[in-house]
Amino acid sequence: MKIILCVLMLMSAAILTQAQEGPLPLYPNGVPNAKPVPATYIEKSNNGLVSCVSISTITPYLPANGMANGIVILIFPGGINSVKR
């Protein structure tokens, strides 16, 4: 059952991202049961680390015209609580 569900999700993602060239919101109507985001909560990027993300998206990176070969790479980044450098 899990395999069927994964295959259906991947097929749906492939169909939905076809011909998309910008970020696709994961929750177009807002995250269910989420707390309101304060106005001071602004997304920040510092040395490749992104923080204060309140709108989750999936961003497709498409190959140049004529270069597509049918191979797909999916990356599912996770979250972290802190970074020590």
Report the alpha-carbon distance of residue 2 to residue 71 in Å, rounded: 22
Report the alpha-carbon distance of residue 79 to residue 85 in Å, rounded: 17
What's the 3-state SS for 34-53?
CCCCCCCCCCEEECCEEECC
Domain boundaries, the chain: 2-58
Q: State the alpha helices, DSSP H only, in the chain.
A: 2-17
Tokens of 15: 């169909």
pLDDT band, residue 81 (cuts 50/70/90): low
What are the pLDDT digits (tens) for 18-67?
555 678 888 888 888 888 888 888 888 888 777 787 888 888 777 888 88
For position 38, what pLDDT does the model report? 86
User: Highest-confidence range of 1-5, 23-27, 75-79, by mean pLDDT?
Assistant: 23-27
For position 84, what pLDDT does the model report? 62
Report the alpha-carbon distance of residue 67 to residue 58 in Å, rounded: 22
